[in-house]
Each structure stands twice: as structure tokens, then as C-alpha cells.
Chain A
């Protein structure tokens, strides 16, 4: 039943001219959970968010927020959602406080409620010191925080964040992640799009990877990494000659690759504990002493590369490997 989910999407299709932006995608997000929608630029992430937030009508399929249809009940949906888009949508000439009060008023809250909620959010998002300055004087991180606060002014039970940390410095990004984490622990259902695998890894309970408008993989971060990533035992040698010799020997344990100027051998393994012992024994038997050794756990970047044949934020100008669409 669709109402069991905070967000329910079935067979959603959107075309822009000849381009199929979304080709029949299905997504279900249980109440109080975080879905990470992951994909490269142009994959269809923003299109999906715009349909779910009533900004765009789908060509086919159905989308419901808390059981309400985004096409037939747009105002009911709008009253239940918060949206923070790719750019911080704040009025530059208004102060932080004025921005929040305006949105509070436009979400039809009594003036006293809007005022109290504004103060609460300014406090929570660490904007009190800048509350009475025009938003044009804010830093990028402050703008994003103000934008997120504006999306929360009417306490929406369902929140959409479209690439919330794109373009932010690492500190601001990590601050914002902290804030988003708090919201989620308050019970808000969140759909988050991102190109940053680290972001999805850190925030999302469930990850849906889309590419060219299709869902190509889904699961929890751990799930995806276990199934699609691989663990590497990395052994570094002082010279390339030794590394090459070692690589030939280590091929008995798993597929090897040379990196780091041909001084490091990576061995793909499944059970890293056992593999580590095997590697040590083998190197000892051929008397090849490594400089250092490390186990590298799979990252979502590996998963992404595996799935789409390119990195998550690969630019279109870059030549793409021929291994597209491995899924």
C-alpha cells in the first residue's frame, strides 16, 4: 500500500523532447528514513525531485507523498514537504530573519508561530549572529544553512534536499551533514540527491543509483559496497622492480594491479583477514620485504565506477571508458 511509505513512486516517466529524463522509475521511502538518490550530472536526479515537489508534471506514472498525489493534490503535498534546491534560494536583500519570516508567513502560519519558529531555527542553524544582516553578506555555508532553515519553517514531515552541499568547503559540508543528521533523528523522512558518495554513505539508509533516467542499482551503503566493491590488500615496495616481481607472485591470491608509479601492488580479495596472512606468507617465502601494507575497504566510489563506468562527478568532456552500463 502506498500510504505505508512517506514517498511512493511508481513507473515515473518524464520526457524533455526526445530525451528520456526518467524512464519508469519506482522508489519507496519508508517513514522516518533517508533515501540517497545517487547519480552523475544529468542522470535524472533533479527531474525526480522536481516532480515529487510538484514543480514539474510527470508524463506517466504516479508519485505520492504521505499518500497524496503530486499531480492531483499539489497544495496538500506542498503543505507537507520542504525543499532545498541546488542553489540557496534566499532573497539576498532580506536579512536571514526576514527571509525566514516571509516563508513562515507564506506557509500560512500565525505570525507568532512564524516568529518563534524563526528564532528557533536561527539558533539551531547557528545564524543568530548574522540574523539581521542581508543574506547577500552571507558565506556559501551560511546561505545553505539559511536555505535549509527556510525549507523547515513549517515543520514538513518530508524533506527534499537536492545536492545540499554542492560547492561547499569541507568544513561547511560536514556542518551541514551534522544538521541533516539531527533532522533525521527527529523523524523527518528525507530524500537526498547527491554526487558525493561520502555524503550518501554517511546520511542515507538506502541508496538508489540512477543513470540516464534508469535505476541501475539499489541497497544500503554496506550492501552495495559488499556486492559491488572489492577489498584491496595494498602492498608498497621500495622499487618498481620488486613491485613487478611481487605482482606476478601475488596473482596466485587474487587479481593484481600496479599503482602509485608501479611501486604498489593491489590484490583484490574477498576475505581480507585470511588474504592478509596469505600475502605475508607468500612474500616471506620469496623473500620480498614490503615497505608497508594496508587493507583498503571498498568505497562507494568503487561501486559507482563499477556501475556506470565513470566517477560520480565525471565531467561530460572527459572521454568515457567503453565499459558503460555494466549492470
Chain B
């Protein structure tokens, strides 16, 4: 016989080994750590997710901004809430693209063959993307300050706005996770999510007041998650009636997260 002792495996009879609840958290953190190391080693991903919103800030602030009138507020203050939401929404595409790349590279297969929590790969990815979003939001706030944006409320409201933005980013990350796992191909995931993002972000109150849009478009724009979140963030940083808008935004955020986390985990279990 051999000198190498095989590890003592639990004798489970006909039952299965249970994944301890603590593992749901520790496995997710292990995967999140891996993704964050990746982000730090390949900073281009983070850089590019800020380049686009910065261009939008400059374009809307200095090119179109002069022609856009928003009653009762300076356009740069109006704009930045939209830019923040746009940043986290488009940033969520990284979640889907990253997962699709992991499928292509065979990493997802490895994870699925390990005795780890089934939710960990997806949760770890969304946690890492939330951290990235926080960083990108901070950067965009600085850009905003540089072009004349000011917070009209207090620190508490501003903190609430950042928290809402991060949560909304997580919600959209789950939509993108589902798309990424369904396509299983980074280019396809990107191609599939861009038009979707555009429909959410541009047909919203992010850059202009929805009141200027024609009938059916206005109805859609007024009743979709990006508008709800932009309105809530805007109220949190500029003042005015806030509670109802934040509640609407939270309902969308929580709803999207629950539905797409469920769909994504189910998709992950039978990912090919």
C-alpha cells in the first residue's frame, strides 16, 4: 500500500454533505477577492468604465448643457445625478462580460466541480463589482465637483445617495450576470447588453426632464427603474420631496435583485 494517506472523507451514507451556511459567505468573499485582484491587475477595465461617463459629463455640461433648460435648478446639478446612475448601470455590464469570460476559460466548470456554495461565484462577482462601483462613483463625484456640481443637502443624504447607487448597481449586475451566463461568450454578452442599457439609460430622466418626451415614451420613461433611481438620487443630493422617490427606487432595486439573482443562480447550476 502507499504511504500517502487519503484524507478522511465524511461517511455520508446515502445523504449528501451539507455546505455550512458560513461557507456561503466565506466562499463568496474568496471569489470576490479573486475578482478584485483581477481588477487591480488589469486597471484598464476600471479606467474605461470611467472614461465614458467623464466624456458624457463634459459633453452634456459644455456642449448640450447650454441648450437644455431645467426649471428651478442649474443643469450641472441636475445632470450629475443622471451621470452617477448611468455610470453604475453601464458599469454592471462588466459583471456579465466577466462571467462570460470565466465560462469561456473553463473557470466556471472548475468552480462547479468544487464542494463550494452554489451562490458564491455569482455573489463574489457582484460583491467585487459593488466595490468597483463605489470607487467609480467616488471618482465621478470628484469630476462633478470639478465642473461645478454641488451637493445641496447634507452628508447623510449624500451618503444615502451613494448607498442607493451601489445597491442599484448590484441589481443591474444580477441582470447582466443572467445575460452573461446565458450567452456564455464575452462579445455576445457585451453586444446583448448594450442596447438594453441604452434603452434604460437614455429614455430616462438621467439627462433631460421626461416632461419633454412624446406621450408613450414619456409613460415608459416615467415608469422604469433608471428614472426611479435618478429621481431618488437627485432628490437626495438636491433636496425637495425625497421619501417617496427613494422608496420607489428601493422597490425597483430589491425587486430586480431578487428576480435576477434567482434566475442567475438557476442558470449557473446548469451552466454548460
Would you call A36 an interface residue if the criterion is a C-beta within 8 Å of the partner chain's C-beta atoms?
no
Residues in A with CB closer than 8 Å to B114 are: 78, 103, 106-107
**A54 CB → nearest B CB, Å:** 7
**A33 CB → nearest B CB, Å:** 13
Cα-based distance from A187 to B34 in the complex (angstroms): 32
Q: Is the interface of B mostly helix, strand, loop or mixed?
A: loop
Would you call A313 an interface residue if the criterion is a C-beta within 8 Å of the partner chain's C-beta atoms?
no
Would you call A253 an interface residue if the criterion is a C-beta within 8 Å of the partner chain's C-beta atoms?
no
Contact present for A107 and B110 (CB under 8 Å):
no
**A69 CB → nearest B CB, Å:** 8
Q: Which of B72-113 contact A (CB under 8 A)?
A: 105-107, 109-113
**B35 CB → nearest A CB, Å:** 9
Contact present for B6 and A155 (CB under 8 Å):
yes
12 further A-B contacts with Cβ under 8 Å, apart from A75-B17, A85-B110, A106-B31, are A55-B109, A55-B112, A72-B16, A78-B115, A85-B109, A89-B110, A92-B105, A93-B42, A102-B33, A107-B114, A107-B116, A187-B4
Contact present for A78 and B9 (CB under 8 Å):
no
7 A-B residue pairs with Cβ-Cβ distance under 8 Å, sorted by A, are A55-B113, A72-B16, A79-B115, A102-B33, A107-B114, A108-B115, A157-B9
Cα-based distance from A81 to B115 in the complex (angstroms): 9
B 1-22 binary contact with A (CB < 8 Å = 1; else 0): 1101011011010111111000
Contact present for B113 and A81 (CB under 8 Å):
yes
Would you call B38 an interface residue if the criterion is a C-beta within 8 Å of the partner chain's C-beta atoms?
yes
Which residue of chain B has the shortest Cβ distance to A101 in the bound complex?
B30
Q: Quick one: given A102-B30, A106-B111, are A187 and B1 in contact (CB under 8 Å)?
A: yes
**Among B16, B110, B120, contact of A76 (Cβ-Cβ < 8 Å):** B16
Q: Is the interface of A mostly helix, strand, loop or mixed?
A: loop
Residues in A with CB closer than 8 Å to B26 are: 105
A 51-82 binary contact with B (CB < 8 Å = 1; else 0): 00111000000000010110011111011110
Would you call B157 an interface residue if the criterion is a C-beta within 8 Å of the partner chain's C-beta atoms?
no
**A118 CB → nearest B CB, Å:** 14
**A269 CB → nearest B CB, Å:** 42
Contact present for A93 and B9 (CB under 8 Å):
no
Residues in A with CB closer than 8 Å to B109 are: 55, 83, 85, 89
**Among B9, B10, B16, B110, contact of A74 (Cβ-Cβ < 8 Å):** B16
B 111-142 binary contact with A (CB < 8 Å = 1; else 0): 11111100010000000000000000000000
Contact present for A90 and B37 (CB under 8 Å):
no
**A104 CB → nearest B CB, Å:** 10
Residues in B with CB closer than 8 Å to A88 are: 106
Q: Quick one: given A89-B105, A94-B37, are A73 and B14 in contact (CB under 8 Å)?
A: yes
Cα-based distance from A79 to B26 in the complex (angstroms): 17
Residues in B with CB closer than 8 Å to A90 are: 105, 107
Residues in B with CB closer than 8 Å to A69 are: 14
Contact present for B116 and A86 (CB under 8 Å):
no
**B270 CB → nearest A CB, Å:** 8
Q: Quick one: given A75-B18, A76-B17, are A103 and B34 in contact (CB under 8 Å)?
A: no
Cα-based distance from A83 to B23 in the complex (angstroms): 21
Residues in B with CB closer than 8 Å to A98 are: 34, 37
Cα-based distance from A72 to B17 in the complex (angstroms): 10
Nearest first, the 4 closest Cβ-Cβ pairs linking A and B are A89-B106, A93-B38, A187-B2, A78-B115
Which residue of chain A has the shortest Cβ distance to B112 in the bound complex?
A55
Residues in A with CB closer than 8 Å to B19 are: 75
Residues in A with CB closer than 8 Å to B6 are: 155, 157, 187
Contact present for B107 and A91 (CB under 8 Å):
yes
Residues in B with CB closer than 8 Å to A91 are: 34, 38, 107
A 28-49 binary contact with B (CB < 8 Å = 1; else 0): 0000100000000000000000
A 246-284 binary contact with B (CB < 8 Å = 1; else 0): 000000000000000000000000000000000000000
**A163 CB → nearest B CB, Å:** 12
Residues in B with CB closer than 8 Å to A32 are: 2
Which residue of chain B has the shortest Cβ distance to A104 in the bound complex?
B30
Would you call A134 an interface residue if the criterion is a C-beta within 8 Å of the partner chain's C-beta atoms?
yes
Cα-based distance from A76 to B12 in the complex (angstroms): 7
Residues in A with CB closer than 8 Å to B112 are: 54-55
B 51-71 binary contact with A (CB < 8 Å = 1; else 0): 000000000000000000000
Contact present for B116 and A93 (CB under 8 Å):
no
Residues in A with CB closer than 8 Å to B120 are: 106
Q: Quick one: given A89-B109, A92-B105, A186-B2, are A80 and B9 in contact (CB under 8 Å)?
A: yes
Residues in B with CB closer than 8 Å to A150 are: 110
**B194 CB → nearest A CB, Å:** 24
A53, A55, A76, A83 — most chain B CB neighbours (10 Å):
A76
Q: Which of A128-147 contact B (CB under 8 A)?
A: 134
Which residue of chain B has the shortest Cβ distance to A160 in the bound complex?
B113
B 172-213 binary contact with A (CB < 8 Å = 1; else 0): 000000000000000000000000000000000000000000
Cα-based distance from A232 to B270 in the complex (angstroms): 50
Cα-based distance from A87 to B106 in the complex (angstroms): 6
